[in-house]
Each structure stands twice: as C-alpha cells, then as structure tokens.
Chain A
Amino acid sequence: MTERHSETAPASPPPRRRITRQEQEPASGEVTEVTPGVLRMQLPIWMPGLGHVNMYGLVDDRGVALVDPGLPGPRSWSTLKRRLRSAGFEFRHVHTVVVTHSHPDHYGAAGHVVKKTGARLVTHCAFETFAEASPPLGPSEAADAEREAAALAALLGVENDVPPEDFLPSSGAAAGPFSNPTPWGEAQSNRWRMRGVILRAFRRLFIAPRPTHRVRNDDVVTLAGREWRAVYTPGHTPDHLCLFDPDSGALLSGDHVLPTITPHISGMAEGFDTLGAYLATLDHVAKLPDVGVGLPAHGHPFDDVPGRVADITAHHVERMEKLAAAGEALGPATVRSLSRELFPERHWG
C-alpha cells in the first residue's frame, strides 16, 4: 500500500506575539481563600507551558487537607513549607493529601508529604504512577537532579495550546505513548524521547505515593467540613479525579477543566476511546447540579464551568473536522503524517 503525505509542513501563520496565559503565570506567594475554607497556594513548576500548580488547602477543625502538592524536588518542597506557614499551618496539621491525577506536577511531592505527616492519601481507584521509588537522594544530589530535569524541560519550549504534560502508562494501557514504538506503531520522535528523559529525572526525586483511600465515582470525601463527591473524569489521564461540593457548587477540577488552556488528551492504546471518555466526562461536570466556581490545578478560579466546557468541546469538534478533512485529502495515512497536516512544525513530535 502506498501512503500519501504532503512533502512540507502546512503553511504556518505569521509569527504572533505569545500571550502569557494565566496557567503560565509564575507562582505567586499569596495565599487566598477562594471559597470558604478552601485556600489557594501556588507552587512553582518548571514543566514547559505551565508556570505554577495550585495546591489547595481544605481547612477544617482537624487541620488541613492538601490537594495536589506539586512537583518533587527541593525548590518546590521549600516553597510548599513556606506556603503552609503563610496559611498558618505546620506539617503536623496536614491530615489528608488528595491527588487529582498521575502527573508529576500533581502527585510528585505527595509521597514526601505523607511520609512527613502520616496523612492519608486519597486518589481515584485507578491511580497509578509510572515508576517505583528510587533510593533516597542526598540534598546535593536532589538539587542536581532537579536542575537537570528543569534544563531538559526548558529545551522543549513552550506550547500555548497543548499543555506539554506527559501521559504516564498504566496497567490498563499496556503500551502507552512512552513505549517504543508508540501504540500507533511509529518510532518515538526525539522530542517524545526527551520527555521520557525528564520523567526519569522525576523518578530520582520522588517518593512513590501509596494511596490509602482509593475512591470511586460518587464516593463521599469529607474535607473542610463539606461532603465532596468524587467525580471520575478520565481523559487527561485514565485516573483523573475531580471533587464536587453539591452544597456550594465548588468543583476542584484538577486538569480536567482549565480556565484558558485546552487540557492535553493522549491516546493510550489501540481500541481505547480516550477522547470519547474525556468528552463524556466534560459533559458530566458541566451538568453537575448548580455547579459553581471551578477550582483548577493551574490558573485562577473561574465561574462559568459549563461555558468553559463548551469552549473545550468546541475545540475538539473543530479539531475532529480538520482531521477528517485532512484524512480525506491524504487518503490512507499514519498518525504522524496526519498530525503534521494539523500542527505547525514547532508542535511536531
């Protein structure tokens, strides 16, 4: 069979000035109460395309629960300690850690926090990280490993419309995009292999998080004096978890719904409709009764969750239409050749 493909990249639009999106803003030292009993604390991250991760503190009479305590490594750890102190807490007050999904800017420090505090660790039941813990690093080694990973990440540049987070293979997706060849049978690009190198650097830094409470959709998690409902939201990762408070309408949306960036959706394996799962669960959170403020893992709290869901859905519908048109023009084509019809060269790989 002969595969047709274009010889050159699609014409790129004229260079445009990059706009810093709110998800790319550097971590602020400000601690803000975004809804009663819920504190927003920003931690620095050095993954390309993102400037901070929101660690939420859910305050109750027992102390505080931390949602997504950020990257592993000395810099994030020292900032986490400062943020806790600014909020009036010490590690002894932390009774729970919640991780929304298995990306290292969300779970990376969870193992350290649990080890330090004895807190319970709440995740979705499908939660799985890509690696077991490595032997503990000394302070100097940890600092070196963090610098190494940050330098590699910087080489990848910034992609405004595709948050360059990595899919971490799970048992349900035996191949996973980091396998070589990829699930779609083509060799990894150099750019993709670079991400694997970054993840190996992560692996040197973190303590493997061991969930003590694995929740399922609609389970109740009582935190900050509220009964949060677990909302299973696969798509960005297979184990993504949102928490919804039906009384206030607050939605801890993780990376499922971000204020201005379209969350990345990775294909996982042959026959698994990742995008279908993502779109269905987007629709689900938009229809949560009286859903109010969205509390994302990156960027600022936002009011119109259904409106933002509509925007993200429209993006995917448009992308599907472009893909179908490209496929009709090319005829039989591989993932790589179709991808190059849709994305400018700086996004290839």
Chain B
Amino acid sequence: MAESETFAHLEHLVHRGGAFRRTVDGRFVYEMTTDAPGADPGTEAEG
C-alpha cells in the first residue's frame, strides 16, 4: 500500500509542477524540481 500511495503523491507532485517523471527501462523515475510545491487543497471539486 505504501508504494501505491507514494505513486499517488508523486503523480500529484508532477501535476503541480513539483516533479518530473521519465520512464527508464519501463519504470517511472521521478526527479524533484528545485521549487517543489506541496499539495494544493484549494481547488474546487468537479462533479
């Protein structure tokens, strides 16, 4: 469960511009940007 939750957090970071994702030998590899932001809880829900 730790890995799937970490994956969710990493994908969120990518969406927020805090990380880059590349695929290396079939695996996702993440690299943080220098100004990696945290979560943004302020967006509106969509139905």
Q: Which residues of A contact B (CB under 8 A)?
A: 1, 3, 159, 162, 164, 167, 177, 181-186, 189, 192, 216-218, 232-233, 264-268, 270-276, 279-284, 313, 316-317, 319-321, 323-324, 327-328, 331-336, 338-340, 342-343, 347-349
Query: Chain B 28-47 against A: per-residue CB contact (8 Å), 1 yes, 0 no?
Result: 11111000111111111111
Evaluate whether A189 and B3 lie within 8 angstroms (CB atoms) in the complex, with A280-B45, A284-B44, A284-B45 already known: yes
B28, B36, B38: the one contacting A270 at CB < 8 Å is B28
Of the A-B pairs whose beta carbons lie under 8 Å apart in the complex, a sample of 13, sorted by A's number, is: A183-B7, A184-B27, A185-B23, A264-B5, A266-B4, A266-B8, A267-B6, A320-B9, A320-B13, A328-B32, A332-B22, A335-B10, A347-B1
A3, A283, A320, A335: the one contacting B38 at CB < 8 Å is: A320
B39, A316: Cβ atoms closer than 8 Å: yes
The listed residue with most A CB atoms (<10 A of its CB), out of B1, B18, B39, B46, is: B1
Q: A280–B43 contact, CB under 8 A?
A: yes
Contact B10 A342 (CB under 8 A): no
The answer to whether A332 touches B30, judged by C-beta atoms less than 8 angstroms apart, is yes
| Contact among B3, B23, B31, B39 for A339, CB-based, below 8 A | B3
Q: Known contacts A274-B8, A275-B8, A279-B39; is A348 also within 8 Å of B2 by CB?
A: yes
| Chain B interface residue bracket vs A | 35 or more
Interface of B is mostly: mixed
Residues of B within 8 A of A332 (CB): 22, 24, 29-31
Among residues of B, the one whose C-beta sits closest to the C-beta of A167 is B4
The residue on A at minimum CB distance from B5 is A265
| Chain A residues with CB below 8 A from B2, complex form | 162, 339-340, 342-343, 347-349
8 further A-B pairs in the complex, CB-CB below 8 A; given A217-B47, A275-B11, A323-B6: A167-B4, A181-B26, A182-B4, A184-B3, A185-B26, A276-B43, A320-B12, A324-B19
User: In the assembly, what is the distance between CA of A313 and CA of B42, in Å?
Assistant: 10
Contacts of B4 in A (CB 8 A): 167, 177, 182, 192, 264, 266-267
- The complex places the Cα of A218 from the Cα of B45 at a distance, in Å, of 12
Of the candidates B1, B3, B36, which one forms a contact with A335 in the assembled complex, judged by CB atoms under 8 Å apart?
Answer: B3
